[in-house]
Structure 1
């Protein structure tokens, strides 16, 4: 059999060309996707089942296997004149890696610096889309260039219309207006939006209408909130409840704050589900809704995917909150990849924070996220407080800002104040889609202030909500050991050994770079060192 050679281009349009000039790219999207998966795999080989899970993840195994056989038949025809480049057996599919060159920047591809990785490749499968987004993030420059200020934006902001209806006194009117504005401002902090009161007349140009009705009944205020996507009439959020507060103290009501947080989160998520990703002006809601679950997974590949999606979202309308979210991604990467040099990540996070604050100096979410990064990644408690306090002044119910101040207080030694602020932040946001994040951070405040039983309950809740979430498991192993629960500690150790590469009790106890700073500073490792040593056997 003759030995053939080929070159694959991954940056820009996906091409594979044999040394005799033959185009080896198949026609079907799934076959091209399979070829791309092989080209980017170690030794250019993968098990058939792994490929099926990336290309036909929504099908039963038998159906996926049948589709795989059909796609491999197509590939055999494409490679019929160059058979030595493709190898297929019952278990694996491979390309002849020793005879294939991957073209890149160093191979003379001038002019492709600003092109996407595997540009134009469109395979309709959620697992493949996630893989592709992650690969694009990994192969782009480590710090995606920040767009210059003042550039033109192709899409207009989301128009959010606030409407109130009141039956009662002036306080009821204030309640209705406050709820509407809190929800609208929370949406505007995450998706480029313009808030306005109801436009006079029967026609509305609004994309989203938030309607808050408040009625006083026997000394209580009954409120009903409804958010609607105006063009389609789809209901994005609806909730009714009562308010027992009879004074302006209600503005610090955790119930109202939780409702506003919940409403904005669900509105953005449901907008993404009913609007096509390319439709003006809502594609950024699609991108942010895909990015945040990956960011809060704390899994390295998914964080890279989230960063790529957030960079794309920023390109849509230049919302500075996306830069702040990307800074938080750098923060998480530095924590979850302790073997890597954190300095480049710190430098990128600082650059992203600076641009986000410059673009959104009054955006409470930007200030809050920037504050979290300053405290967690840069150990700058005073700088974090300088950012978080204006955010709280602008919105006393900002869960992110409250949590940032709590963490700064933990670092500066005011552990009781930290606990109470963290508890309020958790009460506001703990029921969200990312409740495991809020469980984790309040458990850290509990550990810092010596409330170990409460910390256990919160960490256990975080693990139930996100079983692959490693940070609360790290807290639990120290807490269980300290509280005299060796069987539970052993169970957590075994779980961490399965889901965290390189985990060991020795590393947990002795490696200063291991991400368990709070339990270390709280003295839990010293208090339970003897019992934890027994877990290493």
Structure 2
């Protein structure tokens, strides 16, 4: 995965556009200068020999004049890039862009969904060699677009299988557990569960996934074995053993059983794009949404922008309301982290996405959990947020997302004790998630609100370990360390924040009323930081 540090973004789909690492528009002027940047951006490893570039842009000039023209164009490109000029590198033989600092929409965002999209629209460098290169690049893009034209999203078919040696209640409980995992998958992607029922006709369509659950009696209870397999290839995507004392624990799952269900669904979804046919829209949408979550939970400005773009593409491929709900959450993070200038526009869009998500995925517990946050924060509807969160937990008690939403809804109601308990449960269920920092950070804030600094530090440190560039984690740890008189740790955290957050100062976190540490400010926990001034 690409580092989440700010990146220069070059857009070649449509007219050429360049955005600096600071978010400024720095598209160079002049067709030749733009063409030079495009040639580098679309080249392997973003590098080309000088002579190759000269042949493409100044093919009718002599070698000396072409070389001089290239030097002049490079100078103008560096001027346009400003503080990011060192991302453009050149020596006596070659010119390149720093691949660790530059993203290109065609490569990083995937193929556009609109077949009418034109590569480098309107760019005319007035050189026959460049025109031929551009013609071939456009033809290649159109061929790839035609090949990848999405089909209708029919959904992933999941066959749920259950067995128990003593039959009866054991088989029923095994079937319940397999279906719980299947339901958790179906909340996050378009999927259908296929019953393993003898009354069904024998000529059922072949499933994509098999979810099997076997229950065995042991001397001290039962052992459950769950397995997820991609049927066409026989690849095992996930398997796990779990000991339970009573079969009824499946009906009223504790943290361990909930974690078994949540982890199985999460691992299987993460591996699905590797085994499903990539031409299927639900497969591509799943891959895009999964990547968006990695970007989203970095809490970085450019990464959040990319997450929103990926979710938009996922929804265009497969009109599933869950992608709108996640898009609404991205807008909420941007709003709360003060990452964009027009905060009112973010709030209005989050609310609009909220309503659309509900319309398209009514009854989806994950959608209800996600939009509960928006309902409470953006719309200031604490009662509505609690109702949605409570419904989500009732429908899916194995969802870490549902329990987190209930924790936040209880916070809005002022019931800090209930919020802490719900958050602790959510965190325990999501312990193995690659995005565990989402729950750790939420628990840190709730622990602060409940006057539990040690629990807050433990959760904040866990979030910082899982996401070292997470600004929220380090902001809250700074205040917590200062509160506990651990000034060396507080100072080290302030130094790290200054590296990962442009414009951060200790004075700002203490005195800027708009700085995103509302819980710390409301609890009067920012004052100890003054010892570092």
TM-score, with normalisation over the residues of structure 2? Answer: 0.76
Tell me the residue number matched to 1:400. Answer: 401
CA distance in 1, matches of 2:516, 2:42: 31
Q: CA distance change for structure 1 residues 15 and 492 in 2, over 3 Å: closer, same or farther?
A: closer
CA distance in 2, matches of 1:296, 1:382: 27
CA distance in 2, matches of 1:339, 1:290: 22
User: Aligned pair 1:342/2:343, yes or no?
Assistant: yes
Tell me the residue number matched to 2:522. Answer: 521
User: Aligned pair 1:455/2:456, yes or no?
Assistant: yes
Q: Is the 8 A contact 2:477 2:490 kept in 1?
A: yes
User: Aligned pair 1:79/2:77, yes or no?
Assistant: no
Equivalences for residues 235-274 of structure 1 within 5 A: 235-245=236-246, 247-248=248-249, 251-274=252-275
CA distance in 2, matches of 1:412, 1:204: 48
Deviation by residue 1:165-204 (Cα, 9 ceiling, x = unmatched):
1123644334312221121111111111111212664875
Q: CA distance change for structure 1 residues 474 and 134 in 2, over 3 Å: closer, same or farther?
A: farther
CA distance in 2, matches of 1:55, 1:284: 27
Deviates more, 1:475-484 or 1:225-234: 225-234
Q: Is the 8 A contact 2:11 2:105 kept in 1?
A: no
CA distance in 2, matches of 1:55, 1:468: 30
Deviation by residue 1:196-240 (Cα, 9 ceiling, x = unmatched):
212664875111111111111124111111111112221111111
Deviation by residue 1:290-312 (Cα, 9 ceiling, x = unmatched):
11101111111111111111111
Q: CA distance change for structure 1 residues 202 and 335 in 2, over 3 Å: closer, same or farther?
A: same
CA distance in 2, matches of 1:128, 1:234: 34
Equivalences for residues 353-368 of structure 1 within 5 A: 353-368=354-369
- Does the residue aligned with 2:227 lie in a helix, a strand or coil? strand
Aligned length: 453
Deviates more, 1:372-381 or 1:438-447: 372-381
Give the superposition deviation at 1:251.
Answer: 2.0
Give the superposition deviation at 1:404.
Answer: 1.2
Q: Which runs of 5+ in 2 are unaligned?
A: 1-9, 19-23, 81-98, 118-149
User: Aligned pair 1:484/2:460, yes or no?
Assistant: no
CA distance in 2, matches of 1:53, 1:488: 42
Deviation by residue 1:111-131 (Cα, 9 ceiling, x = unmatched):
xxxxxxxxxxxx9x9954587
- Does the residue aligned with 1:251 lie in a helix, a strand or coil? coil
Give the superposition deviation at 1:489.
Answer: 0.4
User: Aligned pair 1:133/2:109, yes or no?
Assistant: yes
Q: Is the 8 A contact 2:393 2:406 kept in 1?
A: no
Deviation by residue 1:68-108 (Cα, 9 ceiling, x = unmatched):
243x432211111487899656996754989xxxxxxxxxx
Give the superposition deviation at 1:499.
Answer: 0.6
Q: Which runs of 5+ in 1 are unaligned?
A: 1-8, 17-32, 34-38, 57-63, 99-122, 141-151
Q: CA distance change for structure 1 residues 474 and 203 in 2, over 3 Å: closer, same or farther?
A: same
Tell me the residue number matched to 2:531. Answer: 534
- Does the residue aligned with 1:226 lie in a helix, a strand or coil? strand
Equivalences for residues 214-293 of structure 1 within 5 A: 214-245=215-246, 247-248=248-249, 251-279=252-280, 281-293=282-294
Tell me the residue number matched to 2:131. Answer: none
Deviates more, 1:245-254 or 1:374-383: 245-254
Q: CA distance change for structure 1 residues 260 and 92 in 2, over 3 Å: closer, same or farther?
A: farther
Give the superposition deviation at 1:386.
Answer: 1.9
CA RMSD of aligned residues (A): 3.7
Q: CA distance change for structure 1 residues 465 and 248 in 2, over 3 Å: closer, same or farther?
A: closer
CA distance in 2, matches of 1:418, 1:399: 14
Give the superposition deviation at 1:434.
Answer: 0.1
Equivalences for residues 34-45 of structure 1 within 5 A: 41=26, 43=28
Tell me the residue number matched to 1:294. Answer: 295
User: Aligned pair 1:382/2:359, yes or no?
Assistant: no
Give the superposition deviation at 1:401.
Answer: 1.8
Deviates more, 1:372-381 or 1:85-94: 85-94
CA distance in 1, matches of 2:373, 2:457: 23
Q: CA distance change for structure 1 residues 242 and 488 in 2, over 3 Å: closer, same or farther?
A: same
- Does the residue aligned with 1:206 lie in a helix, a strand or coil? coil
CA distance in 1, matches of 2:68, 2:333: 40
Q: CA distance change for structure 1 residues 135 and 374 in 2, over 3 Å: closer, same or farther?
A: farther
- Does the residue aligned with 1:162 lie in a helix, a strand or coil? strand
Q: CA distance change for structure 1 residues 500 and 398 in 2, over 3 Å: closer, same or farther?
A: same
Tell me the residue number matched to 2:188. Answer: 190
CA distance in 2, matches of 1:280, 1:372: 29
CA distance in 2, matches of 1:97, 1:479: 44
